[in-house]
Amino acid sequence: MKKLLGVLLAVAMSWPASATVLKNVEVKGEIQTIASDVRHQIDNEAGQAQYNSGAWTRAMAGLSADLVEDVTVNLLAQYGYNWGNNNENGYGFGANDDNKVRIVNANVALHNLFCAFDLTVGRQFYGDEDSAVMYFGPNHYNAEGGMYAQALDAAKLVYSDDVKTFTLMGGKIADNGTDEDGDFFAAGNKYNAKAAIMGADLKYHFTNALMAQAYVYNINNMRVKDEDGVELTQERDNANLGLYGAKVTFAPEAFRLSAEYARNYGGHRLFREHKDTGHMFKADIAADIKAVTARGTFLYANEGFYAFGNYTPSLLVGHKLGGAIWDYSADGVRMFNLGFDVKPFEKWTVSLDGYAFQGSRGHHSATWEADLTAKYAHNEYVELFAGIGYAKYGTETRKGNRTSDFTKDFSGRADNVKGQLGMLIKF
């Protein structure tokens, strides 16, 4: 952390700080620390623990400044480490291992381009953090999600007014740690380093309470592998892989309802679907009753549905799934969630959640999970959080049912109990 801040301070001090060159300079970043412990830990067939036990920190720091009129530069570096790691040679800039400083934002933003658009070019974050289908950026509150935030090397063009926001983007997925073959790791899956991504997103506000969103994304030359390195698409011609979908949100005061549907496609031509094309449906409902918020979620994803989302429900099963590819078992996932948020005091939020996870076809009994979490807002910049979760795993109910590694590792095994503590600082 000291090394990262020292380097950024040196860069800032050496920057030509003439008032005619840089204006409105802002230091920005965040520090997240998460510690977790899991009882009844289970290893898979390769001897790897299914959940993390230990602590890690991710520090992000950088600056944003106006270079000239309607031109903003953004720089952001990140450093992640597991507590107890040796801090000698091989750590920091130029390291050959996972613990090194990485540039996660390096872009130039042009505002009021042609009096109508904003254009951002370079390494950048993209999407909404709670999205189940598309997000590149830092995750929070997730001990299993990996330390380093992922970004895009892309150009993003945005048109926005009081009613609609339209976004066009295109680029490549920025390196987020590679294996021996040079393939990306993303939520346990690997993506070809030559993969290019492009997409379009439209958000339209019919009223203050009613909003609709439609999107489409294509990934060219993406080679998807499972954790054993086996290509999931090896029997298909998938020069183009992608997803498209729509979401409707109705959110009058004290009530929120949303529904989202997304489908994959893949083939030599754009938008060509296979017979077993993956798809996902997600519905959310929430209501505020004085100091209590009651909410529920239903998620369905059939076999093979993949995305680049960040939706990670629950402390155990949801964190393990990671949100990128919903494959709780060989035939996808079906999840029910019921939860309550309570604010007993001004700075406190306490949440109680219950979950039921099954494969989309219900070929095994449900895995049940209960979570109790709490957040304490020390001030507007600093938050402490904690949680405890208990999962009772289901068992197979049909002989010969295909199972993923996740289901094989847990079916009929001992229950898991997980505790988690953390601190999040944003500046």
Q: How far apart are CA 281 and CA 298, in angstroms?
A: 8
Contacts of 264 (CB under 8 A, 6+ apart): 241, 242, 243, 273, 277, 278, 279, 304, 305, 306
Q: What are phi and psi of 221, to 5 degrees?
A: 65, 35
Structure tokens at 128: 């909404």
Domain 2-426 sits in CATH at 2.40.160.10
pTM, two decimal places: 0.84
Give the 3-state secondary structure of the chain.
Answer: CHHHHHHHHHHHHHCCCCCCCCEEEEEEEEEEEEEEEEECCCECCCCCECCCCEEEEEEEEEEEEEEECCEEEEEEEEEEEECCCCCCCCCCCCCCCCCCCEEEEEEEEEEEECCCEEEEEEEECEECCCCCCEEECCCCCCCCCCCCCCCEEEEEEEEECCCEEEEEEEEEECCCCECCCCCEEECCEEECCCCEEEEEEEEEECCCCEEEEEEEEEEECCCCECCCCCECCCCCCCCEEEEEEEEEEECCCCEEEEEEEEEEEEECCCCCCCCCCCEEEEEEEEEEECCEEEEEEEEEECCCCECECCCCCCCCHHHHHCCCECCCECCEEEEEEEEEEECCCCCEEEEEEEEEEECCCCCECCEEEEEEEEEEECCCCEEEEEEEEEEECCCECCCCCCCCHHHHHHCCCCCEEEEEEEEEEEC
Supply the pLDDT for residue 92.
Answer: 55
pLDDT tens for the chain, 427 residues long, are 555 555 455 555 555 544 456 788 999 999 999 999 988 766 555 545 678 788 999 999 999 999 999 999 999 999 988 888 765 555 555 444 556 788 999 999 999 999 999 999 999 999 999 999 999 999 999 888 768 898 999 999 999 999 999 999 999 887 644 444 444 444 334 445 557 899 999 999 999 999 999 999 998 765 555 445 555 544 345 567 788 999 999 999 899 999 999 998 876 666 667 667 889 999 999 999 988 999 999 999 987 788 888 888 899 888 777 666 666 666 688 999 999 999 999 999 999 999 998 888 776 778 899 999 999 999 999 999 999 999 988 765 444 444 444 454 455 456 789 999 999 999 9
DSSP-assigned beta bridge partners for residue 425: 31, 382
- At 351 the pLDDT is 98
Kindly report the number of other CB atoms within 10 A of residue 407's CB atom.
23
With 0-12 / 13-18 / 19 or more C-beta atoms within 10 angstroms meaning exposed / middle / buried, residue 308 is buried
32, 57 contact by CB (below 8 A)? yes
CB under 8 Å to 21, separation ≥6 — which residues? 67, 68
Closest CA to 21 of 66, 58, 70: 66
Q: What's residue 95's pLDDT?
A: 47
Q: Which residue has the tokens 């007014």?
A: 161
Question: What pLDDT is recorded for position 399?
Answer: 41
pLDDT at 362: 72
Which pLDDT score is estimated for 381? 96
The residues spanned by each domain of the chain are 2-426
